[in-house]
Amino acid sequence: MKKLIRFIAIFSLLTTSFNLSADEGMWIPLLLNKNIDQMQKLGWKLTAEDIYSVNHSSLKDGIVMFGRGCTGEVVSPNGLLLTNHHCGFGVIQRHSSLEHDYLTDGFWAASMEDEKPNPGLTVTFLVRMEDVTSQVLEGIASNLSELERDAVIRKNSKTIVEKATDGNHFDARVVPYFHGNQYYLYVTEVFKDIRFVGAPPSGIGKFGGDTDNWMWPRHTGDFSVFRIYADSNNMPAEYSKDNVPYRPKHFFPISLGGYEQGDFALLFGNPGSTREYLPSYAVDQIAFKENPVKIGLRQKRLDIIGYSMDTSRLVRIQYASKHAGISNYWKKMIGETRGITKANGVARKKEFEADFQKWADANEEDKPGYSNILPLFEKMYDKLGPVDMAFTYLREAGMAPEIFSLATRAQDLIKAASDKTVSDEEVEKEAQDLLRSSRGFYKNYQPLIDQKITSEMLEEMQDHMEKQYLPDIFATIEKKYKGNIPAYTSTLFSTSIFTDSTRLYSFLNGFRRKSVRKLAEDPAYLLGQSIMAKYRNEIYPAGKGINSQIDSLQRIYMQALMEMQPNRQFYPDANSTLRVCYGKVDGFEPADGVEYNYYTTTHGILEKEDSTIYDYDVDPRLKELIASSDYGRYADADGTMHVAFISTIHSTGGNSGAPVLNGNGELIGINFDRNWEGTMSDLIYDPDQCRNIVLDIRYLLFILDKYAGAGWLVEEMNVR
């Protein structure tokens, strides 16, 4: 029976491809009035005003963008903040050393005095948003070129932002929605004193590691704890020991009640980017051309880094964050391409496009131009193909050597030192700046790993890129090294001043204007410059014209879709702004004959345990706690300790760390991942296969309270 239902679900998706299920969508918090009836029918007990309001405190006031990409939520009157372990990973790694290895062992502040400052880390609240479409588009005539249009939009946006930030401490930006058919003013407040309060050891916070990443069933305690500090007036301030815990306008109460199959669940966070309204040509390009190349290149880097991490504890610490970063999207892309293949995503889009074409042709008189959209799309994507491939190789291979990023940082110093109008003091300052930033670089750097990666990436470029797009450095390699790339990189790594910290430090400390030649002729610098030059002078300009035409087509296509389906409720693609997504707690069938439950328990941690595999090494104390089943009030009604659950909520990168709420607006979990079968939801959402993965809040409390002995943090929260 289930099989049949599934078949019908897929079939209806196939034929009406753009018909929304209740679960699909990432909604603008300001406009929830349109959804609220449906939400309440599904189990939401509060109002739209409770979620977003500018007149009184609302749920949005408890949510932040954590750092530059993740989400976090406030859970106590003292600014206590929860997010994912993987969102705090970089911070935890920066506080770690061989002596204090917080990645491996975890960290728990014993009191507020113990909480660790993090220069550069910010959290951002949404103050308000406002539809400013008509102001942004003011003065735009239909005969303007794309470039002229952009210029007017930029000018109008600047005026709007200036007005919104005049006389206050807020930031603001104007953000396009629906591919430039609508614009919203987005006003935010940024806090800068964010302290690290605690995180479980990787054996809990990253349990299952990259092996389980993007997979269900999952047993990862993926959380970390921070606190927002403010000045004595509760205002954002740079770090100061005199700052005090921030008093939020809203903090989330926590439910110990759990959830059942089919229960309503709501996710409130900052999804980064989706592309749901692309034409079939674009989906084909992404899933079957771009992704395979990126996957292959990343695989090579991961193999090199992984090998060294397995053989050295130091390398494991140094490269943990980098490895996780490369691996994450490597695996996501594998899932995405598989998902698109299995769901016949391209064919599905094509079928829909046939309907669209019929509609556009029939309405040619009232809506001239619409019938040309798809043929033009096809032409433009054909043209983009080769440029896109060149760009992909440059990004994923050419810019992959770490030494690339360090050497290009020398640009400012070279510029300053070569410019006679710049004073000696300023040149000296540039040299010291470079010295300082290079210290952070070397803390986590192994030249041998980088050398291998550089060789392999350059070889890939040489073997696969069209000759016209190859950076000039390859001509040098041909001439001086007879095309022998390993010989070239070996010379580069043994002679460059950037590959050896003592060499670079002593050079920079004694820096004189006339030594600038040594920098400008450094082989690592030259490699970086050659790659950048190819990008700047050829690939970017070639892509820019095509992309701008594609953008304008996409805008018109979006508008046409909305006119073609006037009764359909559209949601805009994710764009790193706050969105509300909702669905129901539910398992799924990943393959014929296989059914996945909607939750996991601590039992599965012991099942997965394998002390010979780093990712499945279970912390001995956690093991004892599980063995004694001492879960107290955190156990489910069935007596087990739930670790994670899944729901049909439509989510994407950036929703990590975001609160998952029950119908009463109480926290039941923290979003941290998606299932592999469903990662295609960034391009096509399928209610049958797409699930978000959520850490059960009761497991988090159990770890804090029983494992970490950090009961003082639980006391701060409102646990129901």
681 exposure class (CB count in 10 Å sphere: 0-12, 13-18, 19+):
buried
Residue 465: alpha-carbon gap to chain centroid: 28
Please tell me whether residue 653 binds ligand ARG under the rule CB under 6 A.
yes
Catalytic position from the list 212, 222, 450, 619: 222
Considering only residues 201, 203, 653, 669, which one is a binding residue for ligand GLU as defined by CB under 6 A?
653
Nearer to ligand GLU, 214 or 699 (CB): 214
270 binds, among ligand GLU, ligand ARG, none (CB under 5 to 8 A by kind): none
Nearest distance, CB of residue 70 and ligand ARG, angstroms? 8
Question: What strands lie across the sheet with 264-269, from one edge to the other?
Answer: 579-584, 264-269, 659-661, 667-674, 692-696, 642-647, 599-601
The whole-angstrom separation of Cα 239 and Cα 689 is 45
Binding residue for ligand GLU (CB under 6 A) from 672, 685, 699, 707?
Answer: 672
Catalytic, out of 85, 86, 642, 650: 86
Our CA dihedral for 313, 315, 317, 321, rounded to 10 degrees, sits at -150
- The amino acid that residue 482 corresponds to is K
Q: Is 656 in the site for ligand GLU (CB under 6 A)?
A: yes
Measured from the CB atom, is 552 or 656 closer to ligand ARG?
A: 656
* Binding status of residue 270 toward ligand GLU by CB under 6 A: no
Q: Can you tell me the distance from the alpha carbon of 348 to that of 11, in angstroms, rounded to the nearest whole number? A: 10
324 touches ligand ARG by CB under 6 A: yes
Q: Is 222 a catalytic residue?
A: yes
What character string, x for contact with ligand ARG (CB under 6 A) and - otherwise, covers 191-220?
A: ---------------x--xx--xx------
CB of 203 to ligand ARG, least distance (A): 13
Q: Of these, 24, 619, 673, 705, which contacts ligand GLU (CB under 6 A)?
A: 673
The nearer residue to ligand GLU, 182 or 652, going by C-beta atoms, is 652
Closer by beta carbon to ligand GLU, 552 or else 655: 655
654 binds ligand GLU, rule: CB under 6 A: yes
Distance between CA 713 and CA 55 in Å, rounded?
A: 31
| Burial zone of 590 (CB within 10 Å; 0-12 exposed, 13-18 middle, 19+ buried) | middle
Nearest to 614 by CA among 276, 333, 272, 313: 313
Near ligand ARG in 78-97, by CB under 6 A: 86
Total of residues contacting ligand GLU (CB under 6 A): 10
Which phi and psi angles does 643 have, rounded to 5°? -105, -45
Nearest-CA neighbor of 64 among 327, 317, 250? 250
Residue 86 bears catalytic tag: yes
Residue 257 to residues 254, 644, 669, 718, 720: CA-CA distances in angstroms? 9, 14, 11, 13, 8
The burial of 709, by beta-carbon neighbours within 10 Å (0-12 exposed, 13-18 middle, 19 or more buried), is given as exposed
Query: Binding string, 522-561, against ligand GLU, x = CB under 6 A?
Result: ----------------------------------------
Report the C-alpha gap between 315 and 309 in whole angstroms. 5
**Any catalytic annotation for residue 85?**
no
Nearest residue to ligand GLU by CB is 656
**Nearest one of 432, 412, 436 to 422, comparing CA atoms:** 412
* CA 626 – CA 641 distance, rounded (Å): 9
Q: Which stretch binds ligand ARG (CB under 6 A): 148-156, 323-331, 530-538, 597-605?
A: 323-331
Binds 210: which of ligand ARG, ligand GLU, none (CB < 5-8 Å by kind): ligand ARG
User: Is 673 an interacting residue with respect to ligand ARG (CB under 6 A)?
Assistant: yes
What is the DSSP code string of 298-313?
A: HHHHHHHHHHHHHH-H
Q: Rule CB under 6 A: is residue 650 a binding residue for ligand GLU? A: no
Of 255, 496, 530, 656, the catalytic one is 656
- Residues designated catalytic: 86, 222, 656
**Residues contributing to the site for ligand GLU (CB under 6 A):** 70, 651-656, 672-674
Per CB under 6 A, residues contacting ligand ARG are 86, 206, 209-210, 213-214, 324, 327-328, 653, 656, 673
